[in-house]
Structure 1
Amino acid sequence: MKAPEILCADKTLAVRFAAEQAVLSWSLTRPGFTRAATVAWLEASEADLPVGVDPIALLRDRLAAAGYGDAVQLMTSRDVRKHHQAVRHSGDATAFCLATVGLANAGRVGTCTPPTGRAGTINLVVHIDQPLDEAGLIEALSIATEARTAAIMDLGWIKDGLVVTGTGTDCIAVACPIADRRQTYAGLHTDIGAAIGNAVYDAVQAGGSEWVAEKRAHCT
């Protein structure tokens, strides 16, 4: 399959596939199972989202104006120029991940983490070149989430004495080709799961390491 195209300009980031793909995400504007040829990010600052501004409307309107109205849409406060990508292989499976990583409002899962008022989030799309049915996409999403969490924990970023596991505003999308014959299994013991896990881990680890390095440099 042809490699996806990455477009980054004017506070937008997009990954465009050669053909429409099956996508599963919790995107604010196109959540759940859908089909799309593009996944797009909007970079929005805290100043863009004062009290009273609808974030969904802001996301939809600005990305539509940028030509991404039909995309699965994500929003981040991270400078979208600081995106990271990874391609990983396992057996016959190839996975591609594009991620932006910010940890300003990070927390530890299971703890009471009230909003900080600071924007910060992890957004990623991972594509696998093997067609998956709905069960397979759900399992792929679970693997991507597990890999995201492992990558963040391995950064060792501490908040309130605990290693953080993510942020309160993360969003993950998984995508695969559309076909009549689709696979059901995408777990840890499959090539699909291994490729997804490695691609997500490496992209998130790279993005997170860059963010942590920036914060530590700012404090010195």
Structure 2
Amino acid sequence: MPFPCSIVHEAPWLCVSFSHPARVASWAVNRPGLVTAQQLLWREVKNKDLPIDVDPVAWLEKELEARDGLDAVTMLTSCDIGNYCVADAEVETVRVKAIVTVGLSNAERIGRRLDWSKEGWGTINLAVIIDQGLEDWALLEAMSIATEARTAAVCDADIQIATGRATGTGTDCVAVVAPEGEGAYAGLHTALGEAIGHSVYASVSEAIGKWRKTRPGIAFPG
């Protein structure tokens, strides 16, 4: 890739670093929106870390400050990030890497809500790293394809909850990373769209399988 990345898991952190800064689109807890960054972080949390009276944003800022990571785009999850999965795809001249952690303990069906206030917050946290320079609007289109692929993987896993087949969780996050450039398209008819879809679907499907092995006979709220 034009900007190779390294992946390091040091509990409770998962760190993805790039050789030079890139554009990142996300709704992550730390540095959401369209930003330039050189590092993506996952922070695994437990109930004791974030009791109900603690502001998660302020808490995370302190955690990041302690590791000199305030510039990193950072996501939070209660799932075991040691079970992260990676999938690569190459279509024509485009290469994409998807990195994901999956927890579905607060699964939801689109358009409906369940009361998960007394349960854990698993979250699907997904990073999609693209080797092709993109305009900002293409980065947003790439995010839509990544989100579609993530949802397809969840739907195909056929996780039944009280409101129907789950389509995601209430706290999912997607971060799409690419160098700044002139690429203008990332739809399903493009090589980039195909590569995004393939890598995301494969990584999310694998991670759902890992999560299921840790939750035999899980009962969802009805």
**Equivalent pair of 2:112/2:163 in contact (CA under 8 Å):** no
Instruction: Write the distance in 1 (CA, Å) between the matches of 2:157 and 2:66.
Output: 36
Cα deviation digits, residues 102-129 of structure 1 (max 9, x gap): 0000010011323343221010110111
Task: Give the CA deviation at 1:68.
Answer: 2.1
Secondary structure at the aligned position of 2:141 is classed as helix
Is 1:97 equivalent to 2:98 in the alignment? yes
Matches within 5 A, 1:140-219: 140-160=142-162, 162-179=164-181, 182-216=182-216
What's the TM-score, normalizing by structure 1?
0.94
What's the counterpart of residue 127 of structure 2? 125
Secondary structure at the aligned position of 2:51 is classed as coil
Aligned CA-pair RMSD: 1.5
Task: Give the CA deviation at 1:217.
Answer: 6.6
**Equivalent pair of 1:105/1:116 in contact (CA under 8 Å):** no
List structure 1 segments (4+ residues) > 6 angstroms apart after TM superposition: none
The residue type paired with residue 7 of structure 1 is: V
What's the counterpart of residue 73 of structure 1? 74
What's the counterpart of residue 50 of structure 1? 51
For structure 2, the residue ranges without an aligned partner over 5 or more in a row are none
Secondary structure at the aligned position of 1:216 is classed as coil
Instruction: Write the distance in 2 (CA, Å) between the matches of 1:31 and 1:136.
Output: 17
The residue type paired with residue 88 of structure 2 is: V
Name the structure with the higher helix share. 1
Task: Give the CA deviation at 1:195.
Answer: 0.7
Kindly, what percent of the aligned residue pairs are identical? 40
Matches within 5 A, 1:106-125: 106-117=107-118, 118-125=120-127
What's the counterpart of residue 38 of structure 1? 39
The residue type paired with residue 211 of structure 2 is: W
Task: Give the CA deviation at 1:144.
Answer: 0.5
The residue type paired with residue 23 of structure 1 is: V
The residue type paired with residue 83 of structure 2 is: K
What's the TM-score, normalizing by structure 2?
0.93
